[in-house]
Structure 1
């Protein structure tokens, strides 16, 4: 089997704000978020109980460098329970009964995520955006000694080019980080 019994699936930020391009400037372009729906769902089912979900939420209040950042994005500086930060409906359905870690940082790696996966030292990452929250999570987890597999076809970026750039950058960190696809993971 291609999924090690001690590996967890970490689903990064499959939220409405990154999926719904009709109102969100942060959404993955051209519906690319939804090209990841099928691989994500297959992986979430295959990992069973070993799946954790993350959510990006705006800092309240924004401090330090985040103050200038949110001058460009004031519409996203809303409370963590704002519906824009909800998981997409398909993601929420699969997330029921699983841990959900919310952070006000791009990178989701930290004590809360490590605890949610029971201190596991192997993770597979899926979600959005490859060139923001996925890459920052992958690099921090790898720095912490966690073996990271990034499932490329279950990730989407801020553009197809940025998605590929992020994958290429993460590939530089092999063998700490490996790039794969859902077919290889699912065997």
Structure 2
């Protein structure tokens, strides 16, 4: 059941994480697309209380990000590069909603908090479970936000990493609840 004061935070449903034919950052074996139906059901059910996020490369990278992007120079592009666009199905559902762009894996912070109008209950879905979802969820929970993770609406860098990230987030119960779309929409 969705509480009246609960928001959906959709993490990084972007081309760079979906299109494996050109992106080394894409979820493997089309696993990104196994989340499409669950994501769409959630986005529609939450109505106006949905915020989308986008990862963009830092301009310019500093500190540890300098070494990180030595391994991934092809992703060090401007924030408006098409690789960082939301996927077509996501962009369609995102119309009229806030889109928060961050140059960090974790999206939790004042900009996202303001976009959800200071809500203290969120459901999170998106990619990658073991990176941007995990870091966003733990930071939000640490800030006193009750977080539900829709496991079937998340995909990871591998099936094993997806499951390890879900297991890690489950360690933070009751601040974090790992569940699925059907349970949320009951």
Structure 1 length-normalised TM: 0.99
Q: Which residue of 1 aligns with 2:177?
A: 178
Give me the whole-angstrom Cα distance separating, in 2, the residues matched to 1:29 and 1:186. Answer: 28
Q: Which residue of 2 aligns with 1:99?
A: 98
In the TM superposition, residue 124 of structure 1 has moved relative to its aligned partner by 0.2
Q: Which residue of 1 aligns with 2:87?
A: 88
Segments of 4+ moved more than 6 angstroms = none
Aligned residues: 186
Give me the whole-angstrom Cα distance separating, in 2, the residues matched to 1:112 and 1:152. Answer: 25
Deviations 1:136-186 (A, max 9, x none): 000000011000000000000000000000000000000000100000001
Where in structure 2 are the equivalents of 1:118-137 lying within 5 Å? 118-137=117-136
Q: CA RMSD in A?
A: 0.3
Structure 2 length-normalised TM: 1.00
Where in structure 2 are the equivalents of 1:64-79 lying within 5 Å? 64-79=63-78
Deviations 1:31-78 (A, max 9, x none): 000000000000000000000000000000000000000000000000
- Unaligned 5+ runs, structure 2: none
Deviations 1:68-117 (A, max 9, x none): 00000000000000000000000000000000000000000000000000
Give me the whole-angstrom Cα distance separating, in 1, the residues matched to 2:16 and 2:185. Answer: 28
Q: Which residue of 2 aligns with 1:114?
A: 113
- Asked if 1:138 is matched to 2:129, the reply is no
Secondary structure at 2:151's aligned position in 1? strand
In the TM superposition, residue 29 of structure 1 has moved relative to its aligned partner by 0.1
Give me the whole-angstrom Cα distance separating, in 1, the residues matched to 2:175 and 2:109. Answer: 17
Give me the whole-angstrom Cα distance separating, in 1, the residues matched to 2:142 and 2:182. Answer: 27
- Unaligned 5+ runs, structure 1: none
